[in-house]
């Protein structure tokens, strides 16, 4: 029987760009998730997401696993990038676009 932590690890390993958020990209359920989605969408690449409102176990366990207390959480290539403030800041400097394009580009080669 797999645990919630196993599920989280699998999701992070199997998706180069993964956003844990409240709601989904078309209908974010909080302002922070909405800002994170807009920043990610501006990169023009596809990304995976997990709606933590539909996954209460993940919502409870991920902050402990990640050592990051809040949502959204952006993971790229198995590394926690950060939450809304970091994502938006990186988008404003162009860092996010570079990071996302490199992560997705690796997969396409």
Q: Is 85 annotated as a binding residue?
A: yes
Q: Is 22 annotated as a binding residue?
A: yes
Q: Is 64 annotated as a binding residue?
A: no
Q: Is 59 annotated as a binding residue?
A: yes
Q: Is 47 annotated as a binding residue?
A: no
- Do 2 and 14 meet the contact criterion of CB atoms below 8 Å apart? no
Q: Is 49 annotated as a binding residue?
A: no
| Spatial separation of the C-alpha atoms in residues 38 and 47, rounded to whole Å | 12
* DSSP letter assigned to residue 20: E
- Do 17 and 103 meet the contact criterion of CB atoms below 8 Å apart? yes
- What are the binding residues? 22, 30, 59, 71, 84-85
- What are the binding residues for [2Fe-2S] cluster? 30
- What are the binding residues for glutathione? 22, 59, 71, 84-85
């Amino acid at each position: 029987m797999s645990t919630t932590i196993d599920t989280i690890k699998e999701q992070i390993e199997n998706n180069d760009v993964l956003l844990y958020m409240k709601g989904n990209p078309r209908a974010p359920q909080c302002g922070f998730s909405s800002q994170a989605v807009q920043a990610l969408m501006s990169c023009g690449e596809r990304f995976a997401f997990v709606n933590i409102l539909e996954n209460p176990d993940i919502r409870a366990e991920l902050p402990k696993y990640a050592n990051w207390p809040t949502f959204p959480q952006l993971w790229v290539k198995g590394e926690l990038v950060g939450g809304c403030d970091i994502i938006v800041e990186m988008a404003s400097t162009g860092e996010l676009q570079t990071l996302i394009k490199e992560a997705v580009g690796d997969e396409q080669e």
